[in-house]
Chain A
Amino acid sequence: TQLLEQSPQFLSIQEGENLTVYCNSSSVFSSLQWYRQEPGEGPVLLVTVVTGGEVKKLKRLTFQFGDARKDSSLHITAAQPGDTGLYLCAGTFGGKLIFGQGTELSVKP
């Protein structure tokens, strides 16, 4: 059973398009994190959302934490080839950081 359900798992789009990645759970989290990982490297933290309903922006990336703190979304506006990578949501459960399945994003020029 996957504690954090992430969707879609694969996404291939053209440069300039918008996209949204979802991270859902039946459990409440005190916070959720979003990471980006490039091939052969460790994940890099993008943002941590803490408050229910919170919205954080990082340039063209918008992160939202659900009101009930059970879900989160990542929206990318006008995607660029440099956005290509694996995006991971993660939450702490039982003192351990657990990851969703990941979303492999490919942005074609």
Chain B
Amino acid sequence: GAVVSQHPSRVICKSGTSVKIECRSLDFQATTMFWYRQFPKQSLMLMATSNEGSKATYEQGVEKDKFLINHASLTLSTLTVTSAHPEDSSFYICSARDFSRGGRETQYFGPGTRLLVL
């Protein structure tokens, strides 16, 4: 089946540094990818929609200058957490939308990236 990968799976960084997370669709092309954030024992909260070749659209309350998204190819979207602080520590999950299977849209999720900012 379709696979979406994320790298790294976990990262620890110092406060003030920037961290880049990659999301790849491995066997299909995705013009649209999504980035979610999840705190412990909570649900997934949509942060932004990543569109190939154009600017990402951010949900209300999500700082676009803080969470930089780049979707430079049909199989790769990156999320960069700039000047990370301890409150940015969270589980970040991406998903990719696939239209190639019989015309029915399916959204596949990556395994997530655990970010810990010290």
- Mark A residues whose CB is within 8 Å of B: 6, 35, 40-45, 86, 88, 95-102, 104
Cα(A98)–Cα(B43), bound, Å: 10
A42/B109 in contact, CB under 8 A: yes
A40/B49 in contact, CB under 8 A: no
Q: Which of A35, A43, A96 contacts B49 (CB 8 A)?
A: A96
Q: Which of A42, A96, A104 contacts B93 (CB 8 A)?
A: A42
A102/B95 in contact, CB under 8 A: no
Flag the segment in B62-70, B72-80, B81-89, B110-118 that touches A. B110-118
A97/B111 in contact, CB under 8 A: no
B109/A43 in contact, CB under 8 A: yes
Contacting residues, chain A, for B93 (C-beta < 8 A): 42-43
In terms of DSSP, what is the predominant structure of the interface of chain A? strand
Q: Which of A40, A41, A42, A88 contacts B43 (CB 8 A)?
A: A88
A42/B110 in contact, CB under 8 A: yes
A97/B107 in contact, CB under 8 A: yes
- Kindly provide the distance from the CB of A48 to the nearest chain B CB, expressed in whole angstroms: 8
Extra pairs beyond A35-B109, A97-B34 (9, CB < 8 Å): A40-B91, A43-B109, A44-B109, A86-B43, A96-B46, A97-B107, A100-B43, A101-B42, A102-B43
- Kindly provide the distance from the CB of A84 to the nearest chain B CB, expressed in whole angstroms: 13
Contacting residues, chain B, for A6 (C-beta < 8 A): 43
- Taking the complex as formed, is B12 at the interface, i.e. its CB lies under 8 A from any CB of chain A? no
A-B contacts, 6 listed (Cβ < 8 Å)? A42-B93, A43-B44, A45-B106, A96-B49, A99-B44, A101-B43
Cα(A73)–Cα(B48), bound, Å: 28
A102/B42 in contact, CB under 8 A: yes
Cα(A88)–Cα(B109), bound, Å: 13
B46/A40 in contact, CB under 8 A: no
A104/B107 in contact, CB under 8 A: no
Cα(A95)–Cα(B114), bound, Å: 27
